[in-house]
Every structure is written in C-alpha cells, then in structure tokens.
Structure 1
Amino acid sequence: MGLQSEALAGRPKRDLKRAYATRSGGECSRLILEEEFSSESTDSDDPMYDAIVDSDYELNEEDDDVLFQRNVDGDTNKVHEFDEMGYEGNISDVGEDSDGFKSVHSSDSEGEDQGPFRVNGKKRFSNWVEFNVKTDMKNPIFCIGMVFPNNEVFKHAVRKHVVLTKKELRFPRNTKHQVLVRCKTSPGCPFWLYASSTNENNSTMQVVRYTPEHKCSSVAKRVYHCHAPFLAEEYKSTFMADGKWSREGIQNKVIEDFGMHIGYAMCYRAKSRAKKLVEGTIEEQYDLLESYACELKKRNLGTTIWIPTELDENVRKFKRIYICVAALREGWKAGCRPIIGLVGCHLKGVHKGQLLSAVGIDDNNGMYPIAWAIVEKEMKDSWSWFMTSLKDDLEINRSMAYAFISDKQK
C-alpha cells in the first residue's frame, strides 16, 4: 500500500482519476481501507500534497457556480425562469412611469401585494384591493383603486351602502364602462364616487375617484334604492328556500335589517323578481323545450312528442306541442274502456293559448289521461292536427269501435 501511495504521488496531476464520487451525495464509489488513512500517509494539509485532487471545493469551467456567475453575474432579471417559478417582486405591466389608473395590474405605491390577477395567461400581483362579493357585500367599504368584477356588482354594492347609511345617492352617469355616484340628500354634498373599466374589452371596474365625506344627515324614510330589484337580489336565497314567505315576514325582515318600511306591492314584486333571477323568464324557458322533450323520451321509451315551429323574421318561434307518454298509452290500451273524451280550455298567463286533451275512462269509472297538446287557438286546423296525432298513437283504424265525447256533450 505504501508503494501505491508513492506511485500516486509521483504521477502527473492530469493523469490522476477521481478516487471517489464527489457529486453523488458524498458516497464513495469504491471501498476505502483504513490503511490509506494511517499515520504513514502524507499529511493532506501540506500545500505540496496532491494525491487527492478535484475536490468539492475546487471549481472548473463546467461547474454551475461558474456558469451562473458568468451568465447572470448576480442580476436575477437576466433569468427568465424566475417569472415562471413565481418570483415575488413588484411586477408592473406598464412600467415605473404609470399614472396609476390605466390598468388594475399597475401600482405606484410600495407595499405588500393585495391580490392575484391573470395577465396573458400568467399570474401577476397588484397592490389594488379586490372586492370580495361573499364577504365584503355585507357592509361595502370603498377605497381608491378597489377592483370590482363588473358594473352590476359595483352598483349593487353602492345600493347596499345606500340602504345601510340611509343616504340618497344617484347614478348621474351609468354606462357599461363608467359609473358615477353623487349624493342628492342635500345640495352641495361633496360625496363623489367614480368607477370605470380598464378597457372596452374588460368588464372589470376600478374606483378612480372617491370622496367619502358627507355634509348631509341621513333620511328618516325609505331611501330610493330600497326597491324591488335590490330586495330580490338581497333575499334571493331566502325566497327560494321558503316559497311561502309571507308579506308580513318580508316586511319584518326588511325592518330588522335596514330599519325601513315597505308596502305589500313591493313585497310581491321582489318575490316575483327573485323567482325570475333563479328560474329565468318565461321566454327563456321556451328554449328548454327541446331538452325537456329529449329527457322525457329518454325516461319513457316510446313517448311521442311533436313541437311544430314557425319563422317570424328569420327567428324560429314556438307554435304547438303534442305529448303522449308511452306508459299512459299502453295503459289505456290494456285496461281502459273504448271511450275517449275530448276537451279544450283557455290558458291564463303571459302567453295565451289553448290546452287540448284526450281523457279515457278506466274500469273504476275514473278519468285516465291519454294525451294533451298546447296550440295557439281552438280552431279546425288545430283540432285536426291533434286528432291525427292521437289516432296514430292509439292505432285507431276503425273509429266505429270507439266512442268520442266532446266538451259540448256534458
């Protein structure tokens, strides 16, 4: 072993191979015997000792530290990966010379980041405060730079602030991208709140100017913005949870929350509007007829549904609908008498029309529904269309074997 150490000491430095692996967590690549570290070996603290070379403390041209110092030189702005890895810094899309209100992603003030925003598919940070609908809507507080998702959320927050503070605020300017709020409680009140969108293609609203000072007292009566649309939005979940919420209950709830009295008509309008917000209008539900027909056929195989339409200025509109459920049809064939009653009645609602129906009689002399249809009016053409569809469904080939009773033969 001593001869081997002398041979290693006599070899040139470039011919030496690494005795152990320095880049694999310090684990040796071969077994090191205790004799190599005996007292007979040369002291490694000697500057002339070169038996073990290329240690972890020596740098060559391919080491990471050398490459980092050469290419970056301590400046992290040269490394683009810091942005993708989430480097936390004051990031601004418009530069240091920004005016402060052209973009919700720019800021001149120093401090901690307040909220994340998506810009060009990446997550950026801004010093502006973002309005949280779930938590901040209970008691809206405004500040310059506050960001709202859209103008509807901003206006509802203003209305909630008006009802809580009992101030008469108005919207002198109310557009999709600009909303101005002024106080009309008393002349000369300096209150001013103005919000605008960042650009025409973005619905986000940001508070640009805000003067919270009032020189007027609160009103004692009900404020203007405590109306049916506000109440419908405010108590939407309660209206849907309790469909029989009485007028007295609604009035007591408004008095308890806002200290204002509302009338019977406003309670009715707020309840109807809340139902529209959740279920949609009657016109919007006509678009769901085809989905309803597909689901009905899927759940009741063999069901017959016809939905004729008509064109009105290149717009397809509803005309009629005929429904005959397969289970009812087969039940009438199997256990009902050969008697069919035909009746029509008027529909009362927003959209008028006629309801045509065919009813049978079972063995217990009870009424048994067979098919029904909704048509524009009761006339020969609509009855002929309904009877033809009914005949095809019931497979009536000899009409003399059945008895038909109309509503005139009561």
Structure 2
Amino acid sequence: MRRMHYTLKFNPRIIQDLKDEDDLDNVVSHSDDFANVYIVESPLGPPPTFPSSNASCDASPNTMMLSRGFASRCADSEYTPLELNRFREAILGSRHTFKNADEFWNAIYQMSLAGRFQYKYKKNSLTHMSVKCSIQGCPWKIIAHAVEGNEILRVYTYQVNHNHIAQDECSSKVRVSSKRGDVVVEDMFRTIQEYIPRQICKDFERDHGVQLTYNQAWHLKEKAKERLYGSPRASYVFLPWLCHRLREINPETIVEYTSHEGHFKQLFIAHAFSIQGFTMGCRLVLAIDSCHLNGSYKGALLFAIAYDADNGMFPLAMGVVGSENYEDWYWFLEKLKGILDGQEVIIISDRHQGILRSVLELFGVENYAYCYRLVKENFSSFFNRQNIRGKKRKEDALLLLDNIAYARLDIDYNEAFEKLVRFNADLARWVAENSPEHWAMSKFLKKRWDKMKTNIAESFNACLREERHQTIYTLLLMHMDKLITMLDTHMRGTDKWKSVVGPKTEEKLMSNIMRFAPITVMPYLGGTFKVFTGEVYLVMDMQQHKCTCLTWKMSRLPCPHQVKTEESYEESWAKLRIQLPRVNPDCKEKKQRESAIKPILDDSRSQQSNASNGARFGVETKKLQPLQASHSKVLRNQPFVARISQHFCTPGEDSLVLRKYFAALLGVCEISQTPLFSCEMAPEASRSLLPTLGDIFH
C-alpha cells in the first residue's frame, strides 16, 4: 500500500498526509510553487502498536516486542518528524563507511534518538568499534573496523532488530549527550538563524521524548554554531585576511583594525558602495548608536546610519570595539569623519558621555543633536518624581514638551515654554537646564532635515539581532550580505515609484499642497513674495529656496506657503527667471537680487537661512532654454505638476525637467533619485560595486 506525504515550507520537520484535493490545495498555497512530496510504501494489515517512552506500561513482563526501534517508539503524534527518518538511516547497513570515528559516533547517537533506546560500547577505539543495545539479551549490535590502517571506518556487522519486553521498553530512556547532541540541531541552524534554546527543548521532547534543561539546550546551540561557523577564538585569526580581501575586491572600501600585544582591539569598516551612496544622495544627517555583542568575547558594535533620498535607512559605517568608552568612540568617529570627504554633517545620538565628548571634539558642538525620544523619556522620568498626580496631567506635560521641541520659530517656542511654566515651573526649569539648543528645532542653528530621533539606527540594531551572537568573522560576512540585499531591494523598489520622488517624500509633498489655504500672496521683485497666513506675515524667496517659516530650510521640502506661491504666481516668476538672462546676457543673478525690493515684515519671525540646497550639494544648475510661445500659456485647471512642466519643459522633456526640478527642490543630485543606485546613466556600474562571497573567497 502506497501513501503520499508532503512537508510545508514554514515547518519542514513535520510530514503531512496528502490524501485529497484539500491537501493538494494546501501544498500549492503554502509552498510558493515548490514542495517536497514523499511516496511511502507500507505493508498491508494493521500495524503493530507499541507504547511510547512517555506512556504508562501495564503489559505483562513476558510480552516480547520485536521491532527495529524507530518510528514505533515515536512520541504520540499523528505525524512522524523528518529527522527520525533521516536518523534511522544514519547507518544504511554493512559496508557503510565513515571518514572518521567522530562521524560514526554521531550516527550511533542519531539512531538511538530515533529508536529511543540506550546503547553502550564494548570496544571503542579509532580502529575498532563495537556497540550494542544496553538491554540485556537484545540482539541489536553494530561493529565497524578501520580500513587499511587509516581513519576511515567501515561497518561489518549490522544487526538493528530489537527484542525487548514491555517493561524494558518503557523504562528505556535516551541519554542526552553534550558532545553529540549538537548534530541533532545543526541542520535547523542552517535554515533558522533564530533557533532559541526554548524551542530546542520543545523539539527534543516532541521528536525524541527527551526533556532538556534550558542550560543543556543553550550548550547544544553554542556547539552547533561552532560546528557551522567555527570557534570564536579562531575567527580572530582570519580577521586580517578578511580585511585584506575586502580592500582587494573593492579598493575604495575602508577597513582598519588595531591590536594591542597581539590581541584584537578595534575594527572600522565602511564599504565602498555605502560611501559612494552617501556622497551621491543621502541627507547630511547621521544617527549614531551602539549595541552589545553577545558572543564569547563580548564587546560592542558601533554604527552610523544615514538617510537616503526617501528617508529610508542607509548604513554607512560599522565598528567593533571592546567597550563603549571615550577612547573607542573617539577612534570610531575619527575614522567616520575621514570618509565624509570634508562634508559637514549633523550627528544625532543619545547623551552617552563617550559619544558626547567625542562628537564635540570632532564635529563641533553646533553639529550635535540629541535624540528627542530619549530626551522625552528623561523628561517623563523627571515628571514621575514630582508630586503631580493624574495620567491626564502627564499627557498634557508631554504634549507641551512636544510643542517646545517641534516649534520652528522662536516666537512659537517662547509661547510653548510659557505654557509649560504656567503648568509647572519645575518642569520648565528642567527643559531650560537640559540644553534645548541640541534638541529643540527653533534653537538648533544647523540644518537637520527634521530628523529628531535615532529610530533609524535602532531599526538597524534590530536587523542585526542574530548577527550579534556570531563570531566576528561571521558577523562581518552576514552584515555585508544583509547590507547588499537591503540596498538591492531599495534599488529595485525605485522602479515602482509613481513619481520622480519616493513614496514617503511624495506623501509629505501632497500634504503640504492640501494645506496651503487660506493664504494670501503678494509678489515683490526678484522672485520674492510676501505671504500672509491669517496670523503673521512671511517672506518667500523662490530663488534662494527660503521661507521665513523655516520649514523649507529644515526639511528641504516645499512648505504650504511655497506651494501657494507657485499656485498663484508661477507664470510671471518663471518668465522673469528664465527670460531675463536671455534678453540681457550681462544681467547677473546677483545684481538681480541686489536690485530687488524686499518686503518689510511686521513681526519677528524672519530668520537668516542657509545657502540654497543645490549649492550645498554641489549640484550645477543647467541653464534652461527660453519658453516657446506655444508652451507659455497656463491652463489653471491642470494639475500642479503639469503646470510647472509648462514653464520649464519643451515637448518630450517633461519627465527629465521635472526630475531636475524636484532634485533641486529636495536637495539631492539632479540625476539621483536613490542614495546609491540613482544614476540613470550607469545602473550596471552601480551593480558592479556589489561584491559576492565568490569574490571574497576567490
């Protein structure tokens, strides 16, 4: 009689019956067009029943049981785990050879687990092995000898039938071997990296009827990892070779390490594709964070994460050090500064003393921003120590702190701070004493792209949750594989963009477009506009990409005032901007701005802005051709982006010009839409930067 079985992708350890169409639908729907199907031929007639090792036995002592000792002794279950079938065939019969004694010992242990019996060695040497069942009188026996004096062992006697009485069958328990048990879980580690000790305990009890302690399962896990990835101590021996290979396959990769008296001390690594991607299109903001390594020699993992053109995670550099003290942080940040090629960046991190001191010395106090989430947590802890009762009161205090942190203008900051003073003077004093110039938007003088937290670095930390348990050699390889996979996924994701900007950026742009009413705009010369929001007057300089609300400066996205200005006066401003240099070639842009009439503000909200975003990134603005008469007419009913294209585009050039427009608007390279693989002219060159394991081990 033949029966069909199958295994599911998410649980390959269990064999399922394949009986009808419903089972076939499960195979197709849960296996991603690929499944393992097994055909088993079983004898006719009712199979003999045997009690499992964890069942009670009331059978007569004279009842004899003759079996091969495998699936018949499985735990009470509807399905047979695949491991039992594989372990049953660990030794196929006479003439089976093993390359050394260690493999033979492992095979014997696997067979005992599958059959749930104990065994003992009568002879146990590298040249002669004789093992039998521990039950007195049982004929189970395997004998193997070395072949021609070398390490290879060959089985000569293969008797695998058991003859037990029921009492012996129930009392026989498999021993847990700390030396051999790692073989059982090794294959699971190849497919499931997060195979935790508690799951090992459950699987051993379910499949083999063996109850492990958490400590035993943890040791089995560590031994299995060592079998797969090598010993932690030996991994440091290969570290210099790996660093050399990384530099060799991609010369622009920066890999440096230090040692003290022959012992590893510090490691810094920044892959060439990460450095190039950061230079091409990432925001000039870095989130700095760290985590502890859980391997045999501990240590700490330091990393710097950038933001790509769509505010996604872009790992730039990583370091492995002995601790998180000032010396290690200074060394890591010094190497990090060396790969920035002189670019001024904003560092966002927590207030760890090692980071604080190092950043202030290397990047300057004005370029250091505190993570607002941690500031808020400290504020919450301080609130709990005050004699203020009520959950609602705490929510109100945290909301007031948010208003202080996210206020863009000093007048809004002062207003929110005064509210906090009236709410509780001690809380306001805490805010004033905890350096708001490093975390409040209106007080931070440099451009931080609206980045307030280090969540992106913590997300990277979560991605390396399993790698932190590996050896340093395996850690570097797994990190590089995961990094390349992530960047390749981002690169392919850009093909699905519906606009010239990423989905996250587009969502913010559309939000600003929908929020511009009611706003009154009054034009001034030189591309300058006076905007009245209903509460205050603001100045919009279209040429300099500046608005005194500071949203454009801080986020590098058009604010609602800029959107309204484009909506109302894009035709006249565009004509002046493009046609004036053609009419009078001697008219320079600087002279035009100097002769412009500036609006007079009636409030204190006007602040000095940084240089235009295009100048900051070194993007050369291409001169546009004069507008053609047939394209100068504005149709007010057309979408916002379509009306922009009429001023800047000739037929067939809409996509290219809009791409340049948004590039200048958002502050990225005009041909770069993703941080790494954005250049349309050389996609294959970008892909060629990705090394493979074959390149490393060439």
Task: Give TM-score scaled by structure 2 length.
Answer: 0.30
User: Which structure: greater helix fraction?
Assistant: 2
Bigger-Rg structure (1/2): 1
Q: TM-score, normalised by structure 1?
A: 0.47
Comparing both chains, which one has the higher relative contact order based on Cα–Cα distances under 8 Å and sequence gaps of 6 or more? 2
